Structure 1
Amino acid sequence: MKFRVERDVLADAVAWAARSLPVRPSVPVLAGLLIEAGEEGLVLSTFDYETSARATLAADVSEEGRALVSGRLLADICRSLPAKPVEMIIDGSRVSLTCGSARFSLQTMPVEDYPTLPDMPAATGTVQSDVFAHAVAQAVTAAGRDDMLPVLTGVRIEIDGSSISLLATDRFRLSHRELGWDPRTPDETVAALVPAKVLGDTAKSLTAGSEVTIALAAGGSGEGIIGFEGAAAGGLRRTTTRLLDGEFPKVRSLFPSEHLTVATVKKSDLVESVKRVALVAERNTAVQLAFSDGLLTLDAGSGDEAQASESIEARVNGEDITTGFNPQFLLDGLTAIDQEEVELAFTQASKPVVISGAVTDGSGAPGFRYLLMPRRLLS
């Protein structure tokens, strides 16, 4: 194996492929990054039996071959190299890397022990890359982080013709984002539960090109796989991951069809007010929100402890209402919304609020909705 490649292209691809390497691999070779030089250029791969990453980039290949080296070490080295072309060559059981006057020698791992990467399923459709990345970033806001409840650490992707719905919940909040896409089969309906962290990292990393290809193969129990492919500097990048096994809760019915009170507030004012008032809120206590007479009054703290109160303008349609929420969960939902004004829709104080961007251009329903459970207020 012998090839020459531009330093920035190599460093970016290595960093991308190595980002999903396991911290504590079950077997040593899974900490490796597979380097393959051949007719299609240079291919860099990582795989931990759950998630795979494959970056293809242009390189001047003099001799074909493959080698397995420590992925994190290679990423650290490439990041520190001078801005000059990089040459890599196999020298016995080591890989020699040269960049200008900098030279490194890396111990190889047994490439024959490295697992075979899964194939990319047949393409299901394509979606605009920046739109997809933004939609995923909104959806993962409500995804769970408790590995004891693995189903809730995923994002449910529902494909119905030319639309995609993204749903996530951690039992205390729920996010719902809809977007359009270009399906290969216009009348196809399919669903998948994708690990939220993998989905978020992948969508964010595939914005260099104009679109992302999504490939879904929903097999039997625990056998489903989803793949994402997009253009990047110097070539293509592809990620596959196993789907989560389990039944995602039926959460769509939690969004009420009618509301007794709807308040419209300037998002920036509400965000800053929540941040200030929450400074005196003790851990796991709520910030109180009281809507009345064109005002939203926020309160936190109680008894002999520090207290805070602040009022901001709000257009309130319906009955006055007083409720309370986890301030960080409230901020997470507000900051995920694009619009300058937000709507908070209530059925009653003890029921969840639905937060969305205020639609003023006649474009219909907002693309992102965030449902948040109330917290008990301290007396």
Structure 2
Amino acid sequence: MELVISRDTLLRALQTIQGVVENRSSAMPILQNVLVETEGNKNIRLLGTNLDISMRGMFEAEVEKAGKVTLNARKLFDIVRELPEAEVRFTEEDGQWIEMRCERSKFRFPGLPPAEFPALPESKESDAHTISASVLSEMIRKTMFAISQDETRYTYNGVFMETEADILRLVATDGHRLAMIERPSEGLVLREGVIVHKKALGELVKLLQGIEGEVSVALTHVSSGQGLSLSGDEASATLTPNHIIFQMENIALSARLIDGEFPKYRQVIPDNNEYSILMNRESLTQALRRVALFTNETRMVKFAFTPGQLKLTTNGSEAGEAEETIESNAQTDITIGFNSRYCLDALSILDEEQISMDLKDSLSPGVLSPKDSDGYTYVVMPMRV
């Protein structure tokens, strides 16, 4: 193998792949490597995986001799990061050894046999359907913050994706709060729903940044599941027996799906809340941030609604106590306690000026949503005042 590639292109490629490469020293050595292989005369393909998440990307290069090699991803990234902005030449020699040159710099280091590199899931493109890349990014951003950080609750460690009547729905919960968002997605079918792990979603959100236009989605059938593939000038996702693959321009990301049943989320979404109270989102956010500075380890803040206003208070701690009052359109008296961080998490990802808090009583879950709903629902469990 012999090729020439610009330092900036190579650095960008390695930065992209780095997030899915296994970095534990105890891991299989081949999983700490990136596979570099030529594709025609004008491109190279980089592949990385930790067996749960995989990524492949196509990048421009001048290929003088076809071939492939695997190299330690971290070492290669560290070297390229320090190189000047110039062309980098790779030459394979003595089997698995690679010589790398850039201006007056020269490096020589070993790789591992490409045959040892795991095969990555492949996607099929058929029956295409579309969803905006920016919409998909928004849906993930407005739900994944509610994913549980408790690794023992495995089915809580991802976002649940399902479709119903041309609507794509994403749901995440940690058992204390729940975030759900719905957007139109005509033609996409995920009848049983799938759970995508939070680590894969974190990488996906980074890849979706800056992508414009439509995401092409195609349903494909496989022997033991269903699949969908997003392709086109934007992003694509394909579900194979137990993986989902997202294709964005020149990058594909695949993730092993979480095997298990997602919590029955519909049971915890209140549908009979008596009071719907409007507030200015920014006013509530700023007041809650200040009051939260005086909460104890429970982070509990008391929400005391009276006609026309909301008073936020803490129960008092060794650090002191705080009180803030903001305007609301409350018509009655109701007092309830919420975890301040859970409320602030939701307020920080909403964009609307007015938000609605729907309440039944001091012991029932509250529902936070934009004034005009906009297909977004955030449920938070109450705390004892």
Q: TM-score scaled to structure 2, two decimals?
A: 0.88
Describe the superposition over 1:52-111 as per-residue Cα deviations: whole angstroms up to 9, x where unpaired. Answer: 100011211111111101112222222332222222221223222222333332321222
Letter of the 1:369 counterpart: T
In 1: Cα distance, 2:44 partner to 2:276 partner: 56
| Aligned equivalent of 2:204, options 191, 202, 208 | 202
What is the alpha-carbon distance in structure 2 between the residues aligned to residue 104 and residue 127 of structure 1?
45
Query: What is the deviation of 1:116?
Result: 1.2
* In structure 2, C-alpha distance between the alignment counterparts of 1:103 and 1:181, rounded to whole Å: 51
**CA RMSD, Structure 1 to Structure 2 (Å):** 2.3
Aligned-partner Cα distance in 2 for 1:310–1:139: 28
SS in 2 for 1:280: coil
Match of 2:142, SS? helix
Structure 1 residue ranges without an equivalent (≥5):
360-364
Deviation at 1:188, TM superposition (A): 6.6
Amino acid at match of 1:51: I
In the alignment, the residues of structure 1 paired with residue 161 and residue 244 of structure 2 have an alpha-carbon distance, to the nearest angstrom, of 11
In structure 2, give the amino acid aligned to 1:37: T
Question: Is residue 340 of structure 1 aligned with residue 337 of structure 2?
Answer: no
Task: From the superposition, tell whether residues 197 and 304 of structure 1 become closer, same or farther in structure 2 (CA, over 3 Å).
Answer: closer
The structure-2 alpha-carbon separation of the partners of 1:204 and 1:69, relative to structure 1 and needing over 3 Å to count, comes to same
Offset at residue 256 of structure 1 (A): 2.0
Distance 1:53 1:342, change over 3 A: same
Aligned to 1:143: 147
Within 2, Cα distance between the matches of 1:109 and 1:161?
A: 49
Instruction: Indicate if the aligned counterparts of 2:274 and 2:360 stay in contact, CA closer than 8 A.
Output: yes
Deviations 1:3-40 (A, max 9, x none): 11222222111111111122325311111100001317
Q: Which of 261, 275, 299 lines up with 1:261 in the alignment? A: 275
Deviation at 1:304, TM superposition (A): 5.9
Query: Match for 1:202: what amino acid?
Result: L
For 1:35-46, what aligned pairs fall within 5 Å after superposition? 35-39=36-40, 41-46=43-48
Asked if 1:375 corresponds to 2:383, the answer is yes
How far has the Cα of 1:352 moved from its partner?
A: 0.9
Rate the CA distance shift 1:6–1:168 in 2: closer, same or farther, 3 A: same
1:227 matched residue in structure 2: 245
Distance 1:252 1:62, change over 3 A: same
Give the conservation status (yes or no) of the 8 Å contact 2:162–2:190.
no
* Alpha carbons 1:36, 1:43 under 8 Å: kept: yes
Q: Which runs of 5+ in 2 are unaligned?
A: 227-239
Of the three residues 339, 357, 371, the one matched with 1:326 is: 339
- Asked whether the equivalents of residues 36 and 44 of structure 2 are also in contact (C-alpha less than 8 Å), the reply is yes
Contact 1:213 1:228 (8 Å CA) reproduced: no
Q: Is 1:6 aligned to 2:19, yes or no?
A: no
- Describe the SS at the equivalent of 2:135: helix
| Contact 2:182–2:376, Cα closer than 8 Å, also in 1 | yes
Contact 2:19/2:203 (<8 A) preserved: no
Partner of 1:148, secondary structure, is: coil
Contact (CA 8 Å) 1:299, 1:307: kept in 2 or not? Answer: yes
- Distance (whole Å) between structure 2 residues aligned to residue 310 and residue 102 of structure 1: 62
- Supply the distance in 2 between the matched residues of 1:6 and 1:181 (Cα, whole angstroms): 39
Give the SS at the match of 1:156: strand
Residue 90 of structure 2 aligns to a residue whose secondary structure is: strand
User: Which residue matches 2:160?
Assistant: 156
**2:107 maps to amino acid:** F
State whether residues 263 and 291 of structure 1, in contact with CA within 8 Å, keep that contact through their aligned partners in structure 2.
no
Q: Which moved more, 1:207-216 or 1:145-154?
A: 207-216
Larger deviation: 100-109 or 131-140?
Answer: 100-109
Q: Which residue of 2 aligns with 1:362?
A: none
- In the TM superposition, what is the alpha-carbon distance from 1:127 to its structure 2 partner? 2.0
Q: Give the Å deviation of 1:314.
A: 1.0
Give, as a single letter, the amino acid of the residue that structure 2 aligns with 1:154: G
Structure 1 consecutive aligned stretches of length 4 or more whose deviation exceeds 6 Å: 215-218
Indicate how the Cα distance of structure 1 residues 20 and 214 shifts in structure 2: closer, same or farther if over 3 A, else same.
farther
What is the CA–CA distance in structure 1 between the aligned matches of 2:247 and 2:203, rounded to whole Å?
Answer: 13
**299-308 or 70-79, which moves further after superposition?**
299-308
